[in-house]
Amino acid sequence: MAIRAILALALWELVGRLALVAGGALPAPSAIAIRFWADRGDYPMHVWATMQGAGIGFLIGNLVAVLAGVLFAVSPVAARLARGVNIAIFALPAIAIAPILTLMTTGMTPRVILAALGCYFVTMTATVTGITQADARMRDVIRAYGGGRLASLRLVELRSAVPQILGALRIAAPAAVLGSILAEFGGGGRFGLGAYLIGSLGRADPARLWGIGLAATVLAGVGYAVFAMIAARVTASTVAVTVAATPPAGDAPRPLWQRAALAAGSVLLPFAVWWGLIAASGAPAMIAKTPMALVDYLMLPNKAGERILDALAQTLPITAVGIALGLGFAFALALGSVLRPGIVRAFMPVALVTQTMPLVALTPLLVLIFGRGPSVILWITVSVTFFPAFVTMAQGLQMVARSALDVPRAYGASPWTVLRLVSIPASAPYVFAALRLAVPRALLGVMTAEWLATGTGLGNLLNQSRGYLDYGMIWTVAVLSVLLSVFFYQVVVWIERRVLARLGMTTAA
């Protein structure tokens, strides 16, 4: 491992010294280290500011996520009603709401909010999945001894969900750092790595940009490593050793009117929350747009509808391709974590860099290498999509009951046969959980790439609107991206229910 790392650094040094990549856009490690040492006095205050926002947001976002996940797992009605709000929280484009939060709030609040939002959905989803996939026989034991619903939740289901929650915290740690940096990038404060990055973009100094990006990577990587070590120790002692006799009990069929009422409530609740938050904030109507204000804006003779349709025609096709590539890569990597763990461990540092380094630092290099066409969009989309999907899928493969794996092994089955016949079907709930995570992230990845690099699609429309202070269009693009993510999410849920029903499992969605 050490030899491979040394060889990689040596190759990087040679490429950087000879300026073989985009005329020096990839500086040598020694040049980055020299610039970092020269700037060492700047980093403490910027790193500390980012850590504050990310740390507070991480704690708040994950605490709320776990409590919400328990509620949604226990109460299917609450889960259905809150589904629209949950997806809206996850799908809110940070690049759109960062400047709005900066105008509507003060101090560290924008960083904390974006960091918390980055953590919430993945941890909430993992909590629900872990609780609903607990061994049904253990619940029966609790009931046989007179235990009620709370006893089953405390003694069985929450303990069953601990590995999934820890796996989600590995994803949440880098997400919190990125949320804080994006808030700083959007104008949230004088100090922070995002603010430092903004001040350095015009200096034409790739070494400094890489130094800032690697500093962010270290922050996120430390958080990931801490929870990865905790998860490894906990998971090793909590993997099931028996096969569950029955799947978890599903929801009782509901009358048509109840299903219609829940569906309507799920659609209307996000708008009610949106309206309520605007009213509670007291922000001026020019900045904070209510649903009716957006309707009025779209009715103006400003060709907003035509611009939105043109942007959608550019964004949606590349989003579909990005989802397919990102999930395919994540699934292959998750299988590799079982078949060839050494290869995956060697790849993880690269994965962490692509996941945690701010895209605004990598974008100039990516544009020089790939140009401003679809390839750079796909690269960025895959990079922000595959990592959480991989962690979730790998967690599912690791949680397969050992006795279920021993049966085909006893008959001489190869590792690939065991994966195909046992591990992949058994981990299907985690595969769909990964898909639910990836769908909104893919759209946001495409929009981010369009905003930073290509000048096309919804991302570019959002960027132009920020420059013109066109808050109506900013809110319109944000709401539209949420609605698209909700639609894609519902398609995944529809497919998930049918697949898991055929496998005798219940859905956590």
* pLDDT at res. 187: 62
Tally of CB atoms within 10 A around 243: 16
DSSP assignments along 49-61, one per residue: HHHHHHHHHHHHH
* pLDDT at res. 240: 45
Q: What is the pLDDT of residues 391-405, one digit of tens each?
A: 778 878 877 777 777
* pLDDT at res. 244: 40
* pLDDT at res. 59: 93
* pLDDT at res. 275: 85
Interatomic CA distance for residues 476 and 461, integer angstroms: 10
Residue with tokens 């962010």: 216
Q: Which domains does the chain have, with CATH numbers?
A: 42-248+256-282+306-502 (1.10.3720.10)
Q: How far apart are the first and last CA of the chain?
A: 40
Average pLDDT, the chain: 78
Phi/psi zone of residue 146: left (φ > 0), alpha (ψ -120 to 50 degrees), beta? left
Q: Is the dihedral of CA 474, 480, 482, 488 positive or negative?
A: negative
488 close to 440: Cβ distance less than 8 angstroms: yes
* Residue 34 C-alpha from the chain's centroid: 33
480 close to 486: Cβ distance less than 8 angstroms: no
Report residue 413 as tokens. Answer: 């089955």
Q: Which residues of the chain fall short of a pLDDT of 50? A: 239-250, 508-509
Interatomic CA distance for residues 419 and 206, integer angstroms: 44
Residue with tokens 């046992």: 422
Distant-in-sequence, close-in-space partners of 179: CB < 8 Å, separation ≥ 6: 53, 54, 57, 94, 111, 114, 115, 116, 117, 118, 119
Longest CA pairwise span in the chain (Å): 73
Report residue 330 as tokens. Answer: 């994540």
135 close to 240: Cβ distance less than 8 angstroms: yes
* pLDDT at res. 246: 38
* pLDDT at res. 67: 92
DSSP assignments along 383-408, one per residue: HHHHHHHHHHHHHHHHTS-HHHHHHH
Report residue 359 as tokens. Answer: 């895209």
Interatomic CA distance for residues 199 and 178, integer angstroms: 18
Residue with tokens 């397919």: 324
Interatomic CA distance for residues 305 and 476, integer angstroms: 10
Rg of the chain over all Cα atoms, to the nearest angstrom: 23
* pLDDT at res. 249: 44
